[in-house]
Amino acid sequence: MAWPVGPTLIKMIRRWFWGALSLFLVTAALQGQSRESVLKAVAQNSKWSPADKPIQYDEKNIETLAGKRAATITHYGFAGVTTQNWSGPNGNVRLTLYEMADASAAYGLFTLERSEQSGPATIPVGVEGFHAGNRLLFWQSKYLVKLEPATPAADSLARIVSENIFGRSWKPPVSNHLPPENLVRGSERYIVDETSIGGEFELNPQTLGFDDSVEVATADYRVNAKTAHLVLLLYPTQQLAKKYEDQWANSPGDHPELRKRVGPLVGLVRGSRDQSIAKSILDGVNYESQVTWDQPRPDLSLRQVILTIFTFIGIALLFTAVVGLSFGGLRVFVKAKYPDRIFDRPEDMEIIQLKLAQGVIHKELSE
């Protein structure tokens, strides 16, 4: 296969450059998608339109909207909330858009909302969604979306909002370690503070290690028609996990058969003292260590990145020009100061002449 040359090669390089630049710009835009850009995209790409002005909430006034849950929402990682009425072909819907710090925070708030509902019905919108009473909720990327009332119009607007939210949607690591076998779907919770630990878990929240940055996931399991709770605790290090496991082992009334530790992950079965049920659940608790390079990402804007790139290009061009002019200037100076002594000395010069104007000379070799 021949490699393209000349104008064809230049065109290929240009296409590669513009393709890479477009990909970079799109990636940066997705990472920086704000609530305002989501709502603007919904209005531009659908027949829905805002019916009034949006109401904004931040850490200063979130308690006005969330009440006692404001502290828990802040612990998850809260960026802001926008509420607004929207009008569409099928009716009016009130939209509440929670922007969280990341996808894990959005998932945590979603599980908190779901746990407070009675008999939520799962719906296929976003990553996960449900109907409960007169409300529809789903989470996707770093957003939790709530629509009221839960009418066909809300279903329509929910799909449109989901189509205009971009970015990765991932659950927190501890939630990914919940065993799938015998899991009661929709019972999963992601917990980041002591106030969210309910009495059904028979645990003292102050002994779990929230001060040591523990992450907690809970879920219900049904084994042999009996229900039990699993509490997963993921600590930053194995040493911390062992420290808290030793505290439980030394406490009165400890039941080691209801507990399992694998590296930094600790599983506790609550709501049942049946050893066979506990073993069935804990057998699915596993952990595989992974080594990653965890370095903080510099907080650079797109403008700063582009400016830095062209700054380095300018430095490279300036360096090349200085080196070229220095070498050329040195050569001219030496030739003027010391002609035919260092550069272009006659004894080193050799010129090959073709002598095209000279006639043909016949020479014969004699034996």
What are the tens digits of pLDDT across the range 119-150? Answer: 889 999 999 999 998 999 999 999 999 999 99
SS3 percent helix, strand, coil of the chain, rounded to 5, is 40, 20, 35
Is it the case that residue 68 has pLDDT exceeding 80?
A: yes
Say which DSSP state 28 is in: H
Record the tokens describing residue 190, joined without a space. 């992601």
What are the sequence ranges of the domains in the chain? 32-163, 179-282, 302-348
Q: What is the pLDDT of residues 22-50, one digit of tens each?
A: 444 444 444 458 999 999 999 999 999 99
The maximal CA–CA distance of the chain, rounded, in angstroms, is 120
What pLDDT is stored for residue 131 in this prediction? 92
As a whole number, the mean pLDDT across the chain is 85
If you average pLDDT over residues 257-270, what whole number do you get? 94
What pLDDT is stored for residue 134 in this prediction? 92
Which of 18-22, 93-97, 198-202 has the highest average model confidence (pLDDT)? 93-97
Say which DSSP state 183 is in: B
What pLDDT is stored for residue 29 in this prediction? 43
Q: Specify the amino acid at residue 221.
A: Y
User: Which CA distances in Å does 288 have to 241, 264, 265, 278?
Assistant: 15, 10, 10, 21
Q: Sign of dihedral through CA atoms 7, 12, 14, 15?
A: positive
Which residues are CB-neighbours of 226 under 8 A, at least 6 positions away? 272, 274, 277
**Which CATH architecture is the domain 32-163 placed in?**
3-Layer(aba) Sandwich (3.40)
Burial class (CB in 10 A: 0-12, 13-18, 19+), 211: exposed
Record the tokens describing residue 359, joined without a space. 């006639």
Count of Cβ atoms closer than 10 Å to residue 262 Cβ: 16
Say which DSSP state 50 is in: E
If you average pLDDT over residues 146-169, what whole number do you get? 94
Q: Alpha carbon 307 to chain centroid distance? A: 25
Better-scored residue on pLDDT, 243 or 359 = 243
If you average pLDDT over residues 308-326, what whole number do you get? 89
Residue for token digits 């006639």?
Answer: 359
Q: What percent of the chain has pLDDT over 90?
A: 59
User: Which CA distances in Å does 142 have to 60, 69, 75, 126, 171?
Assistant: 20, 19, 15, 11, 11
Closest among 288, 283, 243 to 263, alpha carbons compared:
288
Record the tokens describing residue 309, joined without a space. 């790139």
If you average pLDDT over residues 253-258, what whole number do you get? 88
